[in-house]
Structure 1
Amino acid sequence: MLLRDTSIVVTGGNSGIGEAIVLAAAAEGANVVVDYVSHPDETTSLIDKVEAAGGHAVGVEADVSRPADLHTMIQKAVDTYGRLDVLVNNAGIETRTSLLDTTEDDFDKVLAVDMKSAFFGTQIAAKQFISQGGGGLVLNISSVHEDWPMPGNIAYCVAKGGIRMLTRTAGVELGEHGIRVVNIAPGAVATPINASTEDDPEKMKKLKAAIPLRRMAQPDDIADVVVFLASGKAGYMTATTVVVDGGIMQGSVGL
């Protein structure tokens, strides 16, 4: 098993990409903390699924936009499994609004969940890694829109662009402690956040035509990359982004 006895925290871990990461990590032997802010029943169901398959997982209710809750989340891993090895900053929201239409409240919510949480999550995890020794890994689930403009979803793009620079700078700052920081930038993924696109045949036709592999990613496509990066097979990777987009950034401009 690639992640045997590795202690991993996954924010927004009870649905979409987060759920797939939890299941994939547990299947490879990781001990998982599932962070959630809503739908506790889905968290319980996910933990039951992990345990039924012989894995280990616990849930923690934490609002990742609040540093105090992030402390609680990290401490849950330490109290339950004795240490923290990997933090996956996966939680994210979007408003799908343009520059002219985005309100201050829209902007603050997206930046708090998508970028502020990753910043302080990285800080808190890094302090834990240094305290316990042995290095560690922060994985940020970013987006191709950290680099590729998406008109009509500007706050999300700003947040993901910030995560790109957070990853690069934190990776450089923390390297001397044996701590790695890596982004994963998915393209279009079949998750609830993209349900409106999946429900529109014309949008799906246009989207698939723009993707060289001619399909949306499944959450497992992203989770498998998380497992690789969290394993010893990726130990020399840091301060960079791994793009997992089916080629969409090369196949289309301005979609």
Structure 2
Amino acid sequence: MLLQDKVVLITGGSQGIGAGAALGCAEHGAHVAINYHGNSADAEKVVAEVRKKGRRAIAVKGDVADASTATAFVKAAVQEFGKVDVFVSNAGICPFHSFLDMPQETLERTLKVNLHGAYYMTQAAANQMKDQGHGGSIVAISSISALVGGEYQTHYTPTKAGVHSLMQSCAIALGRYGIRCNSVMPGTIATSINKEDLAQPGKREYMEGRIPLGRLGRPDDVAGCVVFLASDLARYVTGASVLVDGGLFVNLQ
């Protein structure tokens, strides 16, 4: 029980990697607050699954692109649980699109959700941790896309590189308060964000063929790394990034 009685906040926690992280943290003893922007039924399902594990949970709706959502989310969690020990910045979108005709609204929405949202939420969580006075752990879900390009991800890859860089800078800014900041870089994880892309004939087989471990990742694969970085096992780890990609990056190299 690596996170016994810790309070973990996760953005984009109603599905995919966020939901996997919520369940993984609960399995290790954490109480969980998830932020979500879409389907309330999905969010309540995650909350119910966490509670089945004997832990407390709440879901708070809000758009991370709106700075006020960050303070509202942290406030709701503190009202419910009394503190914030771990913050996981996970919310993100990737509407695949070609570069030369990228709509302005698609670019700006991706930047606001993935990068601005991560900034606002990290800032709000860090302020709460600082005021509590007993440190904390911040884990941002970046991506292998922070390190490699993607023809239909020219709007997405810069945001994930930005999230990685944000954690490096925050590690320096927040270390004096005992707050550790690290990023996780998932490879190809089968979630709703790439469901349509992987549905193309032969695409899934092609993607699996590039991965040394021979399969796409699952949300719980990422959750294990999140739990580690959130826990005291990683008490001297900050400013780091961890690839969770089945070996894809080194194979591409």
SS at match of 2:21: helix
Contact 1:26 1:57 in 2 (8 A): no
Match of 1:70 in 2: 70
* 1: CA distance, partners of 2:87 / 2:62: 14
- When the two chains are superposed, the root-mean-square deviation of aligned CA atoms in Å is 1.2
SS at match of 2:105: helix
Over residues 145-204 of structure 1, what are the superposed CA-to-partner deviations in whole Å (9 max), with x where a residue is unaligned? 111111221110010111121111111111111111100000000111121243234111
Query: Identity of counterpart residues, as a percentage?
Result: 35
Match of 1:157 in 2: 157
Match of 1:116 in 2: 116
Question: Do the aligned partners of residues 152 and 197 (structure 1) sit closer, same or farther apart at CA in structure 2, a change above 3 Å counting?
Answer: closer
SS at match of 1:106: helix
Aligned residues between the structures: 253
Over residues 10-30 of structure 1, what are the superposed CA-to-partner deviations in whole Å (9 max), with x where a residue is unaligned? 101010111111111111110
| Structure 1 unpaired stretches of 5+ | none
SS at match of 1:34: strand
SS at match of 2:194: helix
* 2: CA distance, partners of 1:95 / 1:205: 22
Give the alignment of 1:193-232 within 5 angstroms. Answer: 193-232=193-232
Give the alignment of 1:117-132 within 5 angstroms. Answer: 117-132=117-132
Matching residue's letter, 1:206: Y
Q: TM-score, normalised by structure 2?
A: 0.97
* 1: CA distance, partners of 2:169 / 2:127: 16
SS at match of 1:243: strand
* 1: CA distance, partners of 2:82 / 2:123: 19
Matching residue's letter, 1:82: G
Compare 46-55 and 207-216 and name the one that shifted more. Answer: 46-55
Over residues 51-83 of structure 1, what are the superposed CA-to-partner deviations in whole Å (9 max), with x where a residue is unaligned? 122121111111111111110001111111111
Match of 1:104 in 2: 104
Over residues 21-41 of structure 1, what are the superposed CA-to-partner deviations in whole Å (9 max), with x where a residue is unaligned? 111111111010011111111
Match of 1:32 in 2: 32
Q: TM-score, normalised by structure 1?
A: 0.96
Match of 1:236 in 2: 236
* 2: CA distance, partners of 1:102 / 1:91: 22
* 2: CA distance, partners of 1:203 / 1:4: 41
Matching residue's letter, 1:29: G
Match of 2:23 in 1: 23
